[in-house]
Amino acid sequence: MSLFAVVDPVMQGLLLGGMYALFAIGLSLSFGIMRMVNIAHGDIIVLAAYVTLVVVETLAVNPFVAMIVVVPSLAAFGYVLQRVLLNPVLGDDILPPLLVTFGLSVIIQNLLLAVFSADPMGIHADAVQTASIGLGGGLAVGVLPLIIFASAVAVVAGLELLFAFTGLGRAFRATSDNQTVAQLMGIDNRHLYAVATALALAISAIAGSFLALRTTFVPTLGPSKLLVAFEAIIVGGMGSLWGTLAGAMLLGVAQSIGFRYNSGSGILAGHFVFLAILLVRPQGLFARARRS
Amino acid sequence: MSLCSVRRLSVGYGDFKVLFDIDLDIDEGQAMAMIGANGAGKTTLLRAITGLLKAPDDSIKFAGRPIAGTPPHAIVALGVAMVPEGRCLFPSLSVEENLLVGAHAKRRGPWTLQRVYDLFPALLQRRRAPVELLSGGQQQMVAIGRALMSNPRLLLCDEVSLGLAPIVIKSIYCAFPAILAEGTTILVVEQDIGRAIAMADTVTCLQEGKVTLAGPPKQFSRADITAAYFGR
């Protein structure tokens, strides 16, 4: 076995992890701050991919330029979604928001089907999709996966800075600890939740735009993205964004190696790693101890 | 002048009524002690004033303005701060971050990080520490400092001495004169009658959801208070 056969899939897998991390971060934020599991998370990413497609085609712009429109649009949608639909069902019971977001998932999928049909679509616009950098010895990395990975690292670093050093970040952490007492400190939890969802959807929009650039997509792709997001969060450990990135990279490597040996079993290899981690270390690799 | 007035307030949790026709006036600049046995409704009254518990319209006025139905964060912005029972600090935040969260409402006034550290010097060296590493007394200081950071006109303190050693309680109560000196009105909920009477300008006793005694402590004999506290 040549060195190439080992290094190449690992490297491609690590970069794929950047994409998976972007899928996962929004979900992790909603759960961390609001204790809310957004079942429609994957569908929102796919929705963002379609919105990117529409913006690219109607405005005839580069997909990266399109993100300047797509990201704020999804953030605004997130704010309104939380205030109108999700805040009223948030409470001690975790079931109502689960059901509402499940319904939202079905609605988004069917709307996309109605508007765009079930045919796979993609964006074929940019040289960046095929560009790569040779590393010698036959190894090469794609420019796009590299950009996606760098974006994931930047998003995680940016969020960690936000949580550590800003008033908004403190308010997020305080609300996550105890939302009743946070209200007694003057924090408007309904507004704060809406800001959190806006942030989550902005990141999902970045993920969706990159998804659209990377591959073709269909309206029913959402649930599989949700699953990857869940697995990355659980492998990495709840409450740690760097952990989520690491978990996503581990899943990416597992899938990439799996694909190399049998093109049908790559996804399955990822699930096996997820199950193995659940068995050996159910709290995840980098779980931040949650003090109650 | 009455800063906070409660009129004919009856509230509870669902069908379970806790308070019955409560009348209460908290005068500006004064210290009021509220005493009463467990389950008398003291914490429920504070929850109603802070907006955590929905009270009937016009039953609570703060600075002349009806506040029943106003959400808790907006009541904080009007100048009501709460030191909750059991302290309820934010465990993922450091001492200083807890204090800064208290300033979220951005009310102007005398209380700043520096002033809180002047009031509780023990907190200054521990400012970067996670709150869980602090002693119970220091945690209570953080809880009071956190409430002061919103520069309240009315400071509500729920059972600040709960679970603390007498010498620590004394150091906590030593802070109240400095807080009153800034013109802040204080309502202290206290189980210990002796300590309540010693610090307060007026005392109110609740028993089974009703006010059984209210006025300056000098007016009442020990027997009056015991009767109001325990009933006959």
A279: in domain: no
* Interface touch B76/A186, C-beta < 8 Å: yes
* Interface touch A173/B102, C-beta < 8 Å: no
DSSP conformational letter for A121:
B
Instruction: Find the CB nearest A170 among B71, B84, B100.
Output: B100
Q: Which of A253, A246, A287, A245 is nearest to A270 (CA)?
A: A253
Q: Which domain holds residue B25?
A: 2-230
Residue B173's contacts (CB-CB under 8 Å, 6 or more residues apart) are B161, B195, B199
pLDDT (average), residues A20-35: 95
Structure tokens at A96: 């109502």
Q: Could you tell me the CATH number of the domain that includes residue B219?
A: 3.40.50.300
pLDDT (average), residues A2-20: 90
Please give, one letter per residue, the 3-state secondary structure of B191-217: CCHHHHHHHCCEEEEEECCEEEEEECH
Distance from CA of A201 to the nearest CA of B (A): 25
A residues 186-215 near B, CB within 8 Å? 186-189
A278: in domain: no
DSSP conformational letter for A137:
T
Residues of A in contact with B71 (CB under 8 A): 183, 188
Distance CA A45, CA B81 (A): 41
Q: Tell me: the pLDDT tens digits for A202-213?
A: 999 999 999 999
Domain tally for chain A?
1
Give Rg (Cα) of chain A: 19
Domain tally for chain B?
1
A72: in domain: yes
Going A108 to A154 to A148 to A289, the CA torsion angle's sign is: negative
Q: Which of A280, A200, A266, A292 is nearest to A234 (CA)?
A: A280
* Interface touch B101/A185, C-beta < 8 Å: yes
A13: in domain: yes
Residues of B in contact with A172 (CB under 8 A): none
A221: in domain: no
Q: Tell me: the pLDDT tens digits for A125-145?
A: 667 888 888 888 788 899 999
Q: pLDDT category, A288, cuts 50, 70, 90?
A: low
* Best to test chain B binding among A172, A176, A185 (most B CBs inside 10 Å): A185
- Start-to-end CA distance of chain B, whole Å, equals 34
> What was the pLDDT predicted at A136?
80
Q: What is the dihedral of CA A275, A279, A285, A286, to 10 degrees?
A: 120
Distance from CA of B22 to the nearest CA of A (A): 23
DSSP conformational letter for B18:
E
A261: amino acid identity, one letter: Y
Q: Tell me: the pLDDT tens digits for A273-284?
A: 999 999 999 888
Q: Tell me: the pLDDT tens digits for B51-84?
A: 999 999 999 999 999 999 999 999 999 999 999 9
Q: pLDDT below 50 — which residues of chain B?
A: none
Tell me the pTM. Answer: 0.92
Q: Does A170 touch chain B (CB under 8 A)?
A: yes
Q: pLDDT category, A291, cuts 50, 70, 90?
A: very low
A residues 10-69 near B, CB within 8 Å? none
Distance from CA of B153 to the nearest CA of A (A): 14
| DSSP one-letter string for B119-161 | H-THHHHTTTSBGGGS-HHHHHHHHHHHHHTT--SEEEEESTT
